[in-house]
Amino acid sequence: MSKLIGYARVSTRDQSTDRQEADLLAAGVRRDDLYVDCGVSGARASRPAFDKALSALIDGDTLVITTLDRLGRSTQNMLSFAEELRDRGAGLRVLNLGGGDVDTATPMGSMLFTIMAALAQMEHEIKRERITDSIKKRRDAGLNLGGRPRRITDSQIRNAIRLVDSGEPAAQVARDLGMSRATFYRRARAITD
């Protein structure tokens, strides 16, 4: 008897799969046939829950995902995955395609899957390009790029420099500030330049 195997994934541990899981359960996937990877990039070749989902697939089963990018980042990955599904006699259902089944065993389904995989990769590359461009523009304009806020003020670094100049070991001064010696030297150079 064929069944639906669901797969959900998020790239970082602070993201949630709740929405994906709810959509997969609403599509008819049973809770014990739902596999979830948390904190696993789609670019990785090995994803533990994904590998288990593939192992659970048998002839006639259907893998259900919410969006095409849950499978991977590149068209080549997705196409090799489609070939693997075809070899197993399994189908693929992508919920963001209107809930219709994409049968990768048929020429039309294979073509649709190829087009959607290429579009997903293009979207990922455009997003990466936009982020890179934004970072470059912010850097060129001298704006803050974000990151962890500095806890140690420039005044504290100046006082630490005076301690080092008076003979205190730099490693101990840096440790007292709660930073590495390399970070201390980098901050000290930035202040004295």
The residues carrying an active-site annotation are 11
CA proximity to 16, closest of 52, 66, 86, 85: 66
35 and 49 in contact (C-beta within 8 Å)? yes
Distance CA 94, CA 102 (A): 7
Distance CA 71, CA 81 (A): 8
Distance CA 193, CA 191 (A): 6
Distance CA 116, CA 73 (A): 12
- How far from each other are the two terminal CA atoms of the chain, in whole angstroms? 72
CA proximity to 71, closest of 30, 107, 40, 98: 40
Q: Report the DSSP pairing between strands 91-94 and 101-102.
A: antiparallel
